[in-house]
Chains A and B, each alone.
Chain A
Amino acid sequence: MAELMASGAKPDVLFWVGCAGSFDDRAKKITKAFVKILNKAGVNFAVLGAEESCTGDPAKRAGNEFLFMMQAMANIQVLDAYEVTQIVTTCPHCFNTLANEYPELGGKYKVMHHTTFINNLLKDGKISISGGPYKGKRITYHDPCYLGRANGIYEAPRELIQKLDAELVEMRRCKSNGLCCGAGGAQMFKEPEPGKKDINVERTEEAIETKPDVIAAGCPFCNTMMTDGVKNSEREGSLPVLDLAELIAEAQDL
């Protein structure tokens, strides 16, 4: 972003990569797949690079409002300095925080989750999909809490699966009734409380019940949780957990 601005150019949209997308090896693949799509569609975008910082979501959900507020204000200063108006992100937690919690603090941007963004690219004819490796495959979609219930986005990701000519198979609990993967509310960063079972195992079993060829996810944290769940199951090695950006990028043969 800094480089772009220095050269006097102004991007249309900022891709907010998020901490997982920047540092986590698995999530970096999602980031790269999404960048491929953006490039293919000729989107004029930029990233903040080292100037991006955690939105504060995990701190806030852990109860640390101070840390959240400091992160939020610092991020808003950076975003405003670059005159950002539109943001797209591959992380539903970043999406929720930027879209819902920043405006009250002065950070007002048009924020989109990448599944909505890709859907728009398809609708506008910026990219197209024909056939592809997922044609006829059974794909089940896990609703991330912070995209689904938290923000009412259930259809955009499902439309993408349909565009792949794949068979969308729903889990017993889906959409507003979907079961959490177990990562939210800062759980990602701690051990679960004692119980009978881990939440991600429960959810993965539910996904496996649908006899899928692929589990689709729309969140890097859900992806990790479900991937771990599959590792603990009889489908280990034969059931990929893929982000929608990866599915689309692959179908496009990028």
Chain B
Amino acid sequence: MHFGIQNIIFIVVLIAAFALFGRSFSKIWRNIKLGKDKNRSDRKSERWALMTRVAFGQSKMVKRRAVAGFFHVVIYAGFLLINIEVAEILIDGIFGTHRIFAEPLGGLYDVAINFFEILAVLVIIACLVFLYRRNVSVVPRFKDLTGWAKKDGNNILIIELVLMTALLLLGAVEANLPDAKAGPWLISGMLAPMFSGFSVESLHTMERIFWWAHIVGILAFLNYLPYSKHFHIILAFPNVWYSKLEPKGQFTNMESVKKEVELMMDPNADPFAAPPEGTEVATPERFGAKDVMDLNWVQLMNSYACTECGRCTDSCPANQTGKKLSPRKIMMDTRDRLEEVGKNIDANKGEFKEDGKTLIDDFITREELWACTTCNACTEACPVNIDPLSIIMDMRRYLVMEESAANQALNGMMSNIENNGAPWAYPAADRGNWINEA
């Protein structure tokens, strides 16, 4: 092979594909940055260890659901390793070489390709299993996926199937070529007879077709990611790295509230005192979250990292007893609203224009928010350490502190605490009565 028009086309396609992906990626990054600051860069060595275990090591994938976990590990390993072959394809495409690693690696090359081909077959099997579980004998947690979410789930698996098939057929065609650089290999060698009747010339054409199908397929897939739950293959890693390390039961203490309460309780403070000269009088921050901009950037990243697997919802006590709440829906709604806000910003020259909608009410209803028992089953179940509970809590904070919109029973509980230091209407003075009861 020599450098020629094909390579120029390849280089153009490659640059265009990466440029397009870069554009989508930076938009998503911009959207994530619409969230508030949150420092999650402490305890770095723990974070690296966690990412190695949970993301690279897939520990939560295999923990409870052996079938899905196993087949996912197959696809995951296939992706990581077959990418080595993609590196070769890229080099070949750019420089007009053909299977550039074959000669320097010698026998090792055949071993590697044989291994990749076995992996490719396993990936094909895994995809078929997943398609079966999504469409034929539907696993409960996939049942309530409709519309784009359902289509997306299938698209990913079908694209993966096509890519792996193209890779194997490429080898099968090459096995028939008299001038093949290496091979024949294990699986494609078995498929080779399919192409045995063709002339060398049409074999060469077919080789090109499968080669292009594979690489263009991969580049197209890359550009599909930002519109899909499949974006998790990138975001799963940072998402785990930046996840919460504190005990699950520890909820954030709101700094702004703390300051106000301290001021209230400090007998020496003068609430009417003017701020010291030179300090800016900031507009008071909204308490809790009404819309996506009120959430922090980790919560927004969570929404893009969600694989829509439904493990959270499947373990949610509220959902499993028929309540409207679904932690997966909380994440999908957050992402949908964030995408909408992002498009709004794009359409309005970089400024968000009020659209009369908010995450609360227009996407997530109050009924959903109030059904949560804060049990942490969702955060425990999530294979990529997403925290739907923190979003639920921030929205409850908005409802209670900005709108005083808790229901009557909860308001009663809170006024009891305020008046007599207990959630029930018992006088505080009776707190020690049990001591003298028999």
Interface residues of A (CB under 8 A from B): 17, 19, 21-24, 28, 31-32, 47, 49-50, 52-54, 56, 58-67, 69-71, 73-74, 96, 99-101, 104-105, 145-146, 149-152, 176-180, 182-199, 202-203
Taking the complex as formed, is B414 at the interface, i.e. its CB lies under 8 A from any CB of chain A?
A: yes
* CB closest residue in chain B, given A196: B322
A197:B321 contact, CB within 8 angstroms:
yes
- B409-433 at interface with A (beta carbon < 8 Å): 409-410, 412-414, 417-418, 421-424, 426, 428-433
* CB closest residue in chain A, given B389: A185
* CB closest residue in chain A, given B423: A58
Cα–Cα, bound, A177→B323 (Å): 20
Q: Count CB-based A-B contacts (< 8 Å).
A: 209
Taking the complex as formed, is B324 at the interface, i.e. its CB lies under 8 A from any CB of chain A?
A: yes
B330 to chain A, nearest CB (A): 14
Return 11 A-B CB contacts under 8 Å, by A number. Answer: A17-B431, A54-B421, A58-B417, A61-B374, A63-B406, A67-B418, A73-B261, A101-B253, A194-B322, A195-B323, A197-B321
Task: Note all chain A residues with C-beta closer than 8 A to B428.
Answer: 50, 53
A194:B64 contact, CB within 8 angstroms:
no
Cα–Cα, bound, A149→B321 (Å): 20
* CB closest residue in chain A, given B408: A190
B424:A195 contact, CB within 8 angstroms:
no
Q: Which of A62, A150, A194 contacts B410 (CB 8 A)?
A: A62
Task: Note all chain B residues with C-beta closer than 8 A to A96.
Answer: 247, 249-250
A193:B414 contact, CB within 8 angstroms:
no
Task: Note all chain A residues with C-beta closer than 8 A to B265.
Answer: 70, 73-74
Q: Which of A50, A59, A67 contacts B429 (CB 8 A)?
A: A50
Cα–Cα, bound, A190→B406 (Å): 10
Cα–Cα, bound, A188→B246 (Å): 25
* CB closest residue in chain A, given B316: A180
Task: Note all chain B residues with C-beta closer than 8 A to A63.
Answer: 288, 393, 396-401, 406
B409:A54 contact, CB within 8 angstroms:
no
Taking the complex as formed, is B122 at the interface, i.e. its CB lies under 8 A from any CB of chain A?
A: no
B434:A105 contact, CB within 8 angstroms:
no
Where chain B touches its partner, the secondary structure class is: helix
Taking the complex as formed, is B205 at the interface, i.e. its CB lies under 8 A from any CB of chain A?
A: no
Cα–Cα, bound, A68→B315 (Å): 28
Cα–Cα, bound, A100→B249 (Å): 8
Instruction: Using A189-B409, A190-B410 as known contacts, say yes or no to A184 and B374 having CB atoms under 8 A apart.
Output: yes
B377 to chain A, nearest CB (A): 7
B434:A59 contact, CB within 8 angstroms:
no
Instruction: Using A67-B417, A96-B250 as known contacts, say yes or no to A62 and B406 having CB atoms under 8 A apart.
Output: yes
A195:B321 contact, CB within 8 angstroms:
yes
A66:B401 contact, CB within 8 angstroms:
yes
Cα–Cα, bound, A196→B371 (Å): 13
B251:A195 contact, CB within 8 angstroms:
no
Task: Note all chain A residues with C-beta closer than 8 A to B398.
Answer: 63
Task: Note all chain A residues with C-beta closer than 8 A to B258.
Answer: 69, 105
Task: Note all chain A residues with C-beta closer than 8 A to B253.
Answer: 65, 69, 101, 104-105
Cα–Cα, bound, A202→B318 (Å): 11
Task: Note all chain A residues with C-beta closer than 8 A to B430.
Answer: 23, 50
Task: Note all chain A residues with C-beta closer than 8 A to B264.
Answer: 70
Task: Note all chain B residues with C-beta closer than 8 A to A202.
Answer: 317, 320-321
Instruction: Using A50-B432, A62-B410, A199-B317 as known contacts, say yes or no to A180 and B401 having CB atoms under 8 A apart.
Output: no
B318:A184 contact, CB within 8 angstroms:
no
B261:A70 contact, CB within 8 angstroms:
yes
Chain B 305-334 near chain A by CB (<8 Å), digits 1 or 0 = 000000000010110111111000000000
Task: Note all chain B residues with C-beta closer than 8 A to A186.
Answer: 410, 413
Task: Note all chain A residues with C-beta closer than 8 A to B55.
Answer: none
Pairs A-B, 5 closest by C-beta atoms: A150-B249, A196-B322, A63-B396, A185-B374, A195-B322
* CB closest residue in chain B, given A100: B250
Q: A63-B399, A71-B421 are in contact. List 13 more A-B contacts (CB 8 A).
A: A19-B423, A52-B431, A56-B417, A73-B261, A100-B250, A101-B253, A150-B249, A150-B250, A177-B315, A180-B317, A180-B377, A184-B373, A189-B413
B240 to chain A, nearest CB (A): 17
* CB closest residue in chain A, given B394: A63
A181 to chain B, nearest CB (A): 8
Task: Note all chain B residues with C-beta closer than 8 A to A50.
Answer: 428-432
Taking the complex as formed, is B435 at the interface, i.e. its CB lies under 8 A from any CB of chain A?
A: yes
- B241-259 at interface with A (beta carbon < 8 Å): 246-251, 253-254, 257-258
Taking the complex as formed, is B25 at the interface, i.e. its CB lies under 8 A from any CB of chain A?
A: no
Instruction: Using A193-B325, A202-B321 as known contacts, say yes or no to A180 and B375 having CB atoms under 8 A apart.
Output: yes
B364 to chain A, nearest CB (A): 13
B435:A194 contact, CB within 8 angstroms:
no
Instruction: Using A64-B401, A104-B253, A185-B375 as known contacts, say yes or no to A69 and B261 having CB atoms under 8 A apart.
Output: yes
Instruction: Using A23-B426, A73-B261, A150-B249 as known contacts, say yes or no to A194 and B317 having CB atoms under 8 A apart.
Output: no
A198:B261 contact, CB within 8 angstroms:
no
Taking the complex as formed, is B59 at the interface, i.e. its CB lies under 8 A from any CB of chain A?
A: no
Instruction: Using A185-B373, A199-B318 as known contacts, say yes or no to A62 and B396 having CB atoms under 8 A apart.
Output: yes
Taking the complex as formed, is B37 at the interface, i.e. its CB lies under 8 A from any CB of chain A?
A: no
Task: Note all chain A residues with C-beta closer than 8 A to B315.
Answer: 177
Instruction: Using A50-B431, A180-B377, A189-B409 as known contacts, say yes or no to A198 and B417 having CB atoms under 8 A apart.
Output: no
Taking the complex as formed, is B164 at the interface, i.e. its CB lies under 8 A from any CB of chain A?
A: no
Taking the complex as formed, is B52 at the interface, i.e. its CB lies under 8 A from any CB of chain A?
A: no
A2 to chain B, nearest CB (A): 10
Taking the complex as formed, is B287 at the interface, i.e. its CB lies under 8 A from any CB of chain A?
A: yes
Taking the complex as formed, is B358 at the interface, i.e. its CB lies under 8 A from any CB of chain A?
A: no
Cα–Cα, bound, A11→B168 (Å): 75
Q: Which of A32, A64, A177, A193 contacts B370 (CB 8 A)?
A: A193
Taking the complex as formed, is B280 at the interface, i.e. its CB lies under 8 A from any CB of chain A?
A: no
A151:B247 contact, CB within 8 angstroms:
yes
Task: Note all chain A residues with C-beta closer than 8 A to B377.
Answer: 145, 149, 177-180
Q: Which of A23, A31, A74, A194 contacts B422 (CB 8 A)?
A: A23
B426:A149 contact, CB within 8 angstroms:
no
Chain B 156-183 near chain A by CB (<8 Å), digits 1 or 0 = 0000000000000000000000000000
* CB closest residue in chain B, given A29: B434
Cα–Cα, bound, A165→B32 (Å): 54
Taking the complex as formed, is B354 at the interface, i.e. its CB lies under 8 A from any CB of chain A?
A: no
* CB closest residue in chain A, given B261: A69
A200 to chain B, nearest CB (A): 9
